[in-house]
């Protein structure tokens, strides 16, 4: 493993970043609890612009060693390149408390503050006092770029799909019988990272830049007997996601205004479109035209009278029905409102229960 790590560092220094990632991956397979390997592979992934994988690697390094300042630095840089400034700032601030003598944390935090302010419309400053291209160490990136390629899962061990509502996106990973302790889910402003690591089996990783931004604090996940269900709260409710993953071709979308009735219906990605409004109209038409016999027809008739009646008529119907033990049904409140309605069923007549 030490030889692989040495070769990986040499490949990185020689700007052979893909080879470095491959060598670090081999080393991690031999020693999956070494945080330095994940932190260093994160840096190589940043160089390759594999940003969501870089965030996942840095997060894993932090999980293994919460005191590793360089892991926080690399997570912050990767998140900034993804324009996830709030997540980046949180990582950088945590790292700054561990390396108080390191000026890069302060410079990058200031950069985050500027970008956050621009996003919220508080200011339109053009640059910060210490831009990222002043970083001195070779292993750190020279600038911050907003360009990011979509990263697909490295393994396809489990199938996943998603559907959405106006306020949230639900991602389902079909993994049967997985213990909750083996599942790790990390939410960023526009990043979803999922790891399923069952002892004795190949680990599964799903990291992607999402189509739209989410609110990490409101996102949740559940490990069920047959699947892992992840509920992503949209940062902008009502914004329709054309896909789960970010894609530059579909990055610009219009906010869709939906009625309250339509908003209650989740949308599913499907090649076959169903006109639910048409089906609902047909069902209502069938109900209206339905031919009923006997008590059902009579009950339907009285329900329609009650639904269309004014308040006095409804009061008359209720009072007469209750006081006569179900044998009298009057719509005249003036007639029944001032006296008790007497009644009894004729001999042999069966009592009926009408529904209003």
Indicate whether 38 pLDDT > 80: yes
Asked which of 57-61, 93-97, 248-252 is least confident by mean pLDDT, the reply is 248-252
Does 186 fall in a domain?
yes
One domain, residues 8 and 100: yes
Give residue-wise pLDDT tens across range 244-264: 888 766 554 445 444 444 445
Question: How many other C-beta atoms can be found within 10 angstroms of the C-beta atom of residue 47?
Answer: 18
| DSSP code for 250 | G
Look at residue 337 in the predicted model and tell me its pLDDT.
Answer: 81
Question: Each residue of 129-162: pLDDT tens digit?
Answer: 444 443 433 344 433 333 333 344 444 678 888 8
User: Is 268 part of any domain?
Assistant: no
Q: In terms of domains, do 40 and 105 share one?
A: yes
* DSSP helix/strand/coil, 169: strand
Within its chain, how far is the Cα of 70 from the centroid?
29
Query: Is residue 27 domain-shared with residue 110, that is, in the same domain?
Result: yes
pLDDT value at residue 2 = 79
Domain total of the chain: 3
Considering the domain architecture, whether residues 197 and 303 belong to the same structural domain is answered as: no
Length of the chain: 356
Domain boundary among 233, 268, 284: 233
Give every CB contact of residue 329 below 8 A, 6+ residues apart in sequence.
302, 317, 320, 321, 354
pTM above 0.75, yes or no: no
Supply φ then ψ for residue 160, to 5 degrees. -135, 155
Q: Which of 151, 168, 231, 155 is nearest to 195 (CA)?
A: 155
Predicted confidence (pLDDT) at residue 75 exceeds the cutoff of 70: yes
Helices (H) and strands (E) in the chain, counts: 12, 7
List the strands of the sheet with 183-187, edge to edge. Answer: 183-187, 191-196, 204-209
With contact defined as beta carbons under 8 Å apart, do 268 and 163 qualify? yes
The DSSP secondary structure of 30-53, one letter per residue, reads H-TT-HHHHHHHHHHHHHTT-HHH
Asked if the structure places residue 260 within a domain, the reply is no
CA–CA dist 212, 246 (Å, integer): 7
Q: How far is CA 142 from CA 82, 137, 214, in A?
A: 15, 9, 28
Q: Report yes or no on 252 lying in a domain.
A: no
169 lies in some domain: yes
b (16+ CB within 10 A) / e for 29-43: eeeeebbbbbbbbbb
Least confident of 49-53, 99-103, 186-190, 294-298: 294-298
Are 175 and 85 found together in one domain?
no
Query: Is residue 271's pLDDT more than 60?
Result: no
Does a structural domain hold residue 256? no
The residue among 69, 95, 120 that closes a domain is: 120
Is residue 46 within 8 A of residue 18, CB to CB? The reply is no
Comparing 47-61, 168-182, 306-320, 336-350, the range with the smallest average pLDDT is: 336-350
Taking a C-beta distance cutoff of 8 angstroms, is the pair 192, 206 a contact?
yes
Whether residue 255 lies inside any domain: the answer is no
User: Residue 120: its pLDDT value, please?
Assistant: 73
- Biggest CA–CA distance in the chain, Å, is 104
Point out the domain boundary residue: 233, 257, 276: 233
DSSP state of 16: -
Degrees (nearest 5) of the Cα angle 116, 117, 118?
Answer: 90
Question: The CATH number of the domain where 185 resides is what?
Answer: 2.60.40.790
303 lies in the same domain as 226: no
Mean pLDDT of all residues in 65-71? 93
DSSP-assigned states of every residue in 288-317: HH----HHHHHHHHHHHHHHHS-HHHHHHH
Q: Which domain holds residue 169?
A: 160-233
Token pair, residue 118, equals 């621009």
Residues 203, 308, single domain; the answer is: no
99 within domain boundaries? yes
CATH number at residue 32: 1.25.40.10
Q: Model confidence at 19, in pLDDT bands (50, 70, 90)?
A: very high
Task: Please name the residue ranges forming H helices in the chain.
Answer: 2-13, 17-30, 35-47, 51-64, 69-81, 85-98, 103-120, 260-263, 276-289, 294-308, 311-323, 333-336
Considering the domain architecture, whether residues 180 and 102 belong to the same structural domain is answered as no
Q: Which of 150, 139, 201 is nearest to 11 (CA)?
A: 139
pLDDT grade for 219, boundaries at 50, 70 and 90: very high
Residues 116 and 192 in one domain: no
């Amino acid at each position: 493993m030490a030889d692989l790590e040495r070769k990986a560092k040499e490949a990185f220094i020689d700007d052979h970043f893909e080879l470095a990632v491959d060598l670090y991956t081999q080393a991690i397979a031999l020693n999956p609890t070494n945080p330095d390997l994940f932190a260093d592979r994160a840096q190589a992934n940043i160089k390759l612009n594999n940003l969501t994988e870089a965030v996942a690697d840095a997060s894993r390094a932090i999980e293994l060693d919460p005191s590793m300042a360089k892991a926080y630095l690399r997570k912050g840089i990767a998140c900034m390149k993804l324009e996830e400034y709030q997540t980046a700032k949180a990582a950088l601030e945590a790292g700054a408390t561990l390396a108080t003598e390191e000026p890069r944390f302060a410079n990058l935090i200031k950069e985050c503050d500027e970008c956050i302010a621009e996003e919220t419309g508080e200011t339109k400053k053009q640059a910060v006092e210490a831009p990222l291209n002043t970083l001195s160490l070779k292993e750190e990136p020279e600038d911050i770029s907003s360009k990011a390629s979509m990263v697909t899962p490295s393994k396809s061990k489990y199938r996943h799909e998603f559907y959405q509502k106006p306020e949230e996106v639900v991602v389902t990973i079909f993994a049967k019988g997985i213990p909750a302790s083996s599942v790790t889910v990390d939410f960023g402003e526009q990043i979803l990272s999922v790891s399923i690591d069952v002892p004795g089996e190949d680990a599964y990783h799903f990291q992607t830049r999402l189509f739209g931004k989410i609110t990490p604090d409101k996102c949740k996940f559940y490990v069920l007997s047959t699947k892992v269900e992840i509920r992503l709260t949209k940062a902008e409710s009502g914004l329709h996601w054309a896909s789960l993953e970010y894609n530059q071709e579909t990055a610009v979308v219009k906010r869709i205004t939906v009625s309250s009735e339509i908003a209650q219906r989740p949308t599913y990605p499907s090649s076959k479109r169903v006109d639910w409004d048409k089906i609902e109209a047909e069902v209502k038409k069938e109900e209206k035209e339905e031919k009923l016999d006997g008590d059902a027809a009579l009950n339907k008739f009285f329900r329609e009278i009650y639904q269309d009646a004014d308040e006095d008529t409804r009061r008359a119907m209720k009072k007469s029905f209750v006081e006569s033990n179900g044998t009298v049904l009057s719509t005249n409140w003036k007639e029944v409102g001032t006296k008790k309605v007497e009644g009894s069923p004729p001999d042999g007549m069966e009592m009926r229960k009408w529904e209003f």
